[in-house]
């Protein structure tokens, strides 16, 4: 029997229930699909790179793919650690394009990291947008040039603030074609 939920969010150690509920609600709205939230307990030390003092996002993505993904669902691992891939200094998240799995982290999304006053609402919105963005890739969408579209590429938090937590008309059509 097919799982009723096409999207699965797995929290790896995010303690704020309110934040996770907000993410779940935002993802449900954006994809218009039922979403399930799960929690996983995992020691992340093995994914820590001592030299870079960051967590290897490639390995985390592979771990989620191997242990939590299924063919009938898009699964995203939610983290609060600093992610990197070997060639880049940091990333907010990544996904297998048109695959089953994605990862996203809230680590670099808070204002306080950049010396600005903490803003919980803005932080939650940024995280929700990044989660939707990475899931968009898992559904086969590539970066979009529409400024307000969630699939617009973001390299700084300011870029994330410019876009909305939803898809532009063109991406909506593409999403409909891929997700059915």
Positions marked active-site: 134
> Does 129 interact with other proteins (rule: CB under 8 A)?
no
| Contact region with other proteins (CB under 8 A), list: 1-9, 63-71, 72-80, 135-143 | 135-143
Q: Does 63 bind other proteins (CB under 8 A)?
A: no
Collapse the DSSP code of 144 into the 3-class scheme (helix H, G, I; strand E, B; otherwise coil) and give the result: coil
On whether the CB atoms of residues 130 and 93 are closer than 8 A, the answer is yes
Nearest to 30, CA basis, from 102, 114, 132, 145? 132
Going by C-alpha positions, the residue among 14, 37, 15, 13 that lies closest to residue 25 is: 37
Among 91, 109, 124, 131, binds other proteins (CB under 8 A): 91
End-to-end CA distance of the chain: 18
3-class DSSP state for residue 48? strand
Is residue 85 involved in binding other proteins (CB under 8 A)? yes
107 binds other proteins, rule: CB under 8 A: no
CB of 88 to other proteins, least distance (A): 5
Q: Give burial (CB, 10 Å; 0-12/13-18/19+) of 175.
A: buried
Binding mask 13-52 for other proteins (x = CB under 8 A): ---------------------------------------x
- Angle ∠(30,31,37) on CA atoms, nearest 5: 95
Residues 11, 24, 94, 105: which binds other proteins (CB under 8 A)? 94
Task: Name the residue nearer to other proteins (CB basis): 97 or 162.
Answer: 97
User: Any idea what DSSP says for residue 81?
Assistant: S
Q: In the beta sheet, which residues pair with residue 84?
A: 56
Of residues 150 through 179, those in contact with other proteins by CB under 8 A are: 153, 155-156
Q: Of 94 and 106, which has the nearer Cβ to other proteins?
A: 94
137 binds other proteins (CB under 8 A): yes
Residues that bind other proteins (CB under 8 A): 52, 58, 84-91, 94-97, 137, 142-143, 153, 155-156
């Amino acid at each position: 029997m097919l799982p009723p939920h096409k999207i699965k969010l797995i929290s790896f150690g995010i303690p704020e229930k309110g934040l996770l509920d907000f993410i779940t609600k935002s993802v449900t709205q954006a994809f218009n699909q039922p979403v399930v939230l799960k929690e996983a307990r995992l020691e992340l030390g093995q994914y820590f790179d001592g030299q870079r003092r960051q967590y290897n996002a490639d390995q985390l993505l592979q771990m989620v793919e191997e242990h939590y993904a299924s063919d009938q669902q898009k699964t995203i691992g939610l983290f609060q650690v600093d992610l990197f891939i070997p060639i880049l200094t940091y990333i907010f998240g990544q996904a297998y394009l048109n695959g089953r799995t994605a990862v996203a982290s809230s680590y670099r999304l808070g204002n306080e990291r950049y010396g600005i006053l903490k803003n919980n609402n803005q932080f939650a919105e940024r995280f929700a947008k990044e989660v939707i963005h990475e899931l968009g890739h898992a559904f086969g969408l590539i970066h979009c040039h529409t400024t307000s579209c969630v699939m617009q590429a973001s390299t700084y938090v300011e870029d994330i603030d410019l876009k909305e937590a939803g898809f532009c008309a063109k991406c909506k059509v593409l999403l409909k074609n891929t997700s059915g």
